[in-house]
Amino acid sequence: MKVAMTICRLILMARIEVHGREHIPPSGPYIVVLNHTSAVDTPVLLLAFPLQKWRFFAVEKWRRHPIFGPLMGWLGAIYIARDEVDRHQMRQALDAITQGVAFGVAPEGTRSKTGQMNTAKDGAAYLAARTGAPILPVGLENTDVLFANFKRLKGTAVRVHIGPPFHLPPLEHRVRSQDLPAYTHYIMAHLAAQLPERYHGAYANSPALVALQRCEDPWPYCHQA
């Protein structure tokens, strides 16, 4: 209960600014990828988008929460162990996407303790490769400082940066597991491009990110990651 009340107060004290709302597809399916720095990321994401059918991965511990457990279940959570998704949960995600929902996933798999992006796992790339769904990169700015500002009774401008949707580049062969890391880097370069430099972390020196910033094709550089 204490955690729930704190999160509610944090959101109420924040000013949420949404940039790039015009990039949101009018209907699903699509996969939303976001950086993950705070417990309030999912509530902020849901507030920033129009009401629609959502599914998303959530850490198992929230299932047992007296307030957020029922709420997140109603909103469409697929509960997973921390840092781990099994075949059944991945099948649930694939089925949800093919049914036309917006599916939210944090490719890093866990919250960043520094606010900077960590090296991502291949789950989002796998979902996109299997379904062919477009990917919508959403950068969340300042959710990482909400708690610190809250302690000082200071308001926070939380910025939601929504980039243009994109598809994974086609391959000349069927997608294999060894293709996923390059796809993951491609996704994360697009996500980093929506965020200020201080968030880039593991992707700060990515040639793919530099290519995007120059309005060039980042794909040739993703194989170098």
Query: Is residue 2 predicted with pLDDT exceeding 50?
Result: no
Q: Between residues 145 and 92, which one has the greater pLDDT?
A: 92
Span of 33-47, 160-174, 177-191 with lowest mean pLDDT: 33-47
How do 156-162 and 135-141 pair as beta strands?
antiparallel
pLDDT (tens digit per residue) in 46-68 = 888 866 678 888 777 767 776 66
Structure tokens at 189: 């370069």
Chain centroid offset of residue 69 CA: 20
Chain centroid offset of residue 211 CA: 21
Domain coordinates in residue numbering, the chain: 2-222
Q: Confidence band (pLDDT; 50, 70, 90) for 7?
A: low
Compute the average pLDDT of residues 174-180: 92
Topology, domain 2-222: Glycerol-3-phosphate (1)-acyltransferase (3.40.1130)
Q: Confidence band (pLDDT; 50, 70, 90) for 1?
A: very low
**Residue 134, Cβ neighbours under 10 Å: how many?**
16
CA 26/CA 225 separation, integer angstroms:
33
Question: pTM of the entire structure?
Answer: 0.89
3-state DSSP call for residue 68? helix
